[in-house]
Amino acid sequence: MSLFRTKSLDVLLAQAADSEKSLKRTLGKGSLIALGIGAIIGAGLFVRTAAAAGGSAGPAVTISFLIAAVGCAFAGLCYAEFASMIPIAGSAYTYAYTTMGEIIAWIIGWALILEYALGAATVSIAWSEFLNKLLNGAIPYEWCHSPFQSAIVDGVMHHGIINAPSLLVLFLISALLIKGTQESAVVNAIIVFIKVAIVLVFIAIGWHFINPANHTPYLIPANQPDAIQPDGKPYSYADFFNHGWGGVLRGAAVVFFAFIGFDAVSTAAQEAKNPKKDMPIGILVSLLICTILYVLFSWVLTGVAPFTDFVSAGKEASVAYAIQTYMQGYGWLGTLVTVAILAGFSSVILVMLMGQSRVFFSMANDGLLPKVFSDVHPKFRTPYKSNIILFLFVGTFATLIPGDITGDLTSIGTLFAFVLVCAGVLIMRKRDPNRVRPFKTPLVPLVPILGILVCAAMIISLKTETQVVALIWMVLGLLIYFSYSRRNSKLSAAGEILPSASDFDKV
C-alpha cells in the first residue's frame, strides 16, 4: 500500500458538489478579505513586532516584515492557484493529497495543528492576560492562570486554579462557529473594522512622536551592548541571528507569525460563493493590505521607542508601554490599543478554530481521522461536532497549561506547509498541465522555487529548541498515521483510485 497514493481531483470536486455532505456556501470576496485580515492582524502585529525589534532586528524590523511578506506572497500566489482550482475545505492538506500523496498530506495536516489549534489556545491565554490588564487586575490571579503557575501579588503568594477568561472566549467563539459561517463572518468584519481603525489612529498620532535617533543605526550592530531583561539577566546581541542582516532574517521568522492567517482563507474555499474567482482575491488582497499596515506600524513603533526598551520593559504590552512612556497626553490611546488587541485576538481565535475544524473535516472525509470530525449539522451546515471537540481540546490546553508556547512553534508549522504548497504547484503543473486553472501562479517555476527558498531560510533561522519540538511533534503524528490513519484511509490499496462519491455516504 503506497504511502504516496494521491486523491483523484475529479472525485474530490464531485464530493464537494454533494449538497448533503458539503458545507454551506455563504462567503463573498468581501467576507473572504475580512476573514484574512481578521486572522492576520492580531497577536503578531501587537506583540511579535516588538519581540522581533527588541531581540534581533532593531528598527530594521520593517525590512523583516517585507521579507516575511515576500515569502508569504510567493506562497500566497501558489495558494491562490490551488484554491481556485481545488475549491475544497482543507487548504494545504487537500492540495498535498492531490499532488504529493497521502503521507505528505498527513504531515501537512498534522503541522497545521501547530498553526490553528495550538495557536488558538496560545492566543486565548494572551486574550485573558490583556482582558485583566484592561480591567486593572480585577480578575483574581487564581481564576486567570493555570494550576501550574504561581506568583507573589501584593506580598502574598497566589496559585492559579484555572484560566477562566480564556475558556469563556473559546466557548463563545466555538458557539458562534457552530451557529454558522455567515454569522461568524459578520462578527469578524465588525472586529476587523475596530482594530484596523485603531491601528490607523496609532500610526497617524505616533508619526508625530517619532525620534529619528531611534532609527539610527537601522540594523543592530555586532558590538551592540547587552540589554537587561526584567528578571535582571543580560540579553546578548552577539549571536549571528541577533544582529545585522542575520537579525533581520530571524526577525522575519519571528514576525512571520503576524502573517499567519491569509492561508486560513483557503480553508473556507468550500464555503465561498464563487471560489474560483474570489479565493485568489481574498488571499492576495488581505495579504497586501496587512503588509502595508505592518510596515507603517513597525516604523512608527521603533521610532517612538528605542528597540532595547522592548527587551528591558513592555514585553507583551510593548505598544501600550511605548504610548504611555513616550507619547504624553495619549494614555487613552494605550487603552484603545488594548481594546484593539483584545479584538484582534478574538478574530484570530475565530479564524484559527474555523481553519482547524475545516482541515479536520477534510481529513475525516478521507478516513485519516474518525468520522465524527466530518459530521455536518443538519440545519447550520457546519462541522459542529468537530467544533465541540476542538473547544474541549483547545479549552483544556488554554485553561490548565501555562501560555509558554511560543509563536515560533506556530510559525515553523506554517512555514513547512508553505514550502510543500509551493512544491505542489510545481508537481501539479508537470503532472496535470491541461487542468483548468482559473488563477495561474505567474513565473512558474521561479515563484514557487523562491517561495520554497525564502520559507526554508526562515525555518533555519528559528531557534534550535523550536526546531526540536517541531520534530518531536512530527514523530508523534507519524506514529498516529501508521497506527490508525493508514489503515482507515478511504483510498484503495492500489493507491491512485478514490471510491465514488456515493461511497462516502455509506461511511
181 vs 330, more confident: 330
CA distance 32 to 104: 27
Task: Give the residue among 117, 119, 123, 112 at the shortest CA–CA distance from 416.
Answer: 112
Q: Is-above-0.95 flag for pTM?
A: no
State the pLDDT at residue 185: 67
Tell me, what amino acid is at 443?
A: L
Q: Does 314 score more than 70 pLDDT?
A: no
Query: Which domain, by its residues, includes 141?
Result: 9-502
State the pLDDT at residue 388: 93
What is the bridge-based pairing of β-strands 234-235 and 156-159?
unpaired
Number of domains in the chain: 1
DSSP assignment string, 140-175: -GGGBS-TT-EEEETTEEEE---BHHHHHHHHHHHH
Average pLDDT over residues 386-390: 91
The overall average pLDDT reported for the chain is 81
DSSP secondary structure code for residue 24 in this structure: P
State the pLDDT at residue 505: 35
Residue 298 lies in a domain: yes
Most confident of 143-147, 197-201, 274-278: 197-201
Residue 1 lies in a domain: no
Q: How confident is the model at residue 503 (pLDDT cuts 50, 70, 90)?
A: very low
Residue 178 lies in a domain: yes
Residue 4 lies in a domain: no
Cα dihedral 266→269→271→274 (10° resolution): 120
Tell me, what amino acid is at 42?
A: G
- Rounded alpha-carbon distances, angstroms, from residue 222 to 94, 217, 218, 227, 427: 44, 11, 12, 13, 42
Residues 39-69: tens digit of each pLDDT = 677 666 777 788 889 889 999 999 999 998 8
Residue 2 lies in a domain: no
State the number of CA atoms in the 13 A half-sphere of 218 facing the CB: 9
Residue 244 lies in a domain: yes
27 vs 311, more confident: 311
State the pLDDT at residue 208: 92
Collapsing DSSP to helix, strand or coil, 227 comes out as strand
User: How is residue 391 written as a grid cell?
Assistant: 473547544
CA distance 53 to 6: 43
Q: Which of 155-159, 261-265, 354-358 has the lowest mean pLDDT?
A: 261-265
CATH number at residue 124: 1.20.1740.10
Question: What residue spans of 180-274 are helical by DSSP H?
Answer: 181-206, 244-255
State the number of CA atoms in the 13 A half-sphere of 87 facing the CB: 26
Residue 507 lies in a domain: no
Q: How confident is the model at residue 273 (pLDDT cuts 50, 70, 90)?
A: confident
Q: How confident is the model at residue 25 (pLDDT cuts 50, 70, 90)?
A: low
Q: What angle do CA 116, 96, 437 make, to 5 degrees?
A: 110
CA distance 364 to 356: 12
Question: Exposed (0-12), middle (13-18) or buried (19+): which is 26, by Cβ within 10 Å?
Answer: middle
Q: Are 311 and 104 in contact (CB under 8 A)?
A: no
Residue 455 lies in a domain: yes
